Amino acid sequence: MATEQAAENYTVEDLVALNPYNPDILNDLEKFVNEQQMEEQFKTARFSQFWDEAAKNRHISEAVPGFEQAIQSYAIHVLSLTYQKVPRPILVEAINIEGLALDKFLEYHAANSGWVIEKGGQSQVIVLPRNEFNHPELKKNTADILPFEHVTRIFPVLG
């Protein structure tokens, strides 16, 4: 077939068009498409949309022990690679925890993971530990260092 698509690119309508004689599979197809959307949201760090879809598809999170904790760990990992300081609302959106549970979560990470919680203005800011990605000056690549003598050798050619 010349117009074959990868399975993850099919919509429910595409799948029904491929098999119009079995309308009973519509619910399964809809679950399949929703799972594909969740995967895309997860891979692109759109955690708010991911958690919204996960709430609609409880069969996934309930079937996998530790599902929510694993997603939360991944979200924290992504945030730590991206941010030096994370506003509390961004963290809430990424890990889908609020209220007293969030306060306990923050206390735990402040005690065990090196997080610092700053109170400023109307919202808290969580200072994440430094790493080579959120503080680029910590990353030193000796392969990128060019001795000055090598640079001065090309001056006569340029001049």
Quick one: pLDDT at residue 94? Answer: 94
Question: Could you give the number of structural domains in the chain?
Answer: 1
Does 28 fall in a domain? Answer: no
Closest alpha carbon to 117 in 108, 106, 129, 102: 106
Residue 78 and residue 131 in contact, taking contact as beta carbons nearer than 8 Å: no
Q: What is the pLDDT of residues 133-156, one digit of tens each?
A: 877 665 566 666 777 777 777 777
* Cα–Cα distance measured from residue 22 to residue 123, given in angstroms and rounded to the nearest whole number: 53
Domain residues for the domain of 71 are: 45-158
Does 8 fall in a domain? Answer: no
State the average pLDDT for the chain: 79
Does 86 fall in a domain? Answer: yes
Q: What is the pLDDT of residues 16-29, one digit of tens each?
A: 676 666 666 656 65
Rg of the chain over Cα atoms, rounded to whole angstroms, equals 24
CATH number at residue 49: 1.10.10
Give me the residue label for tokens 């519509």: 26
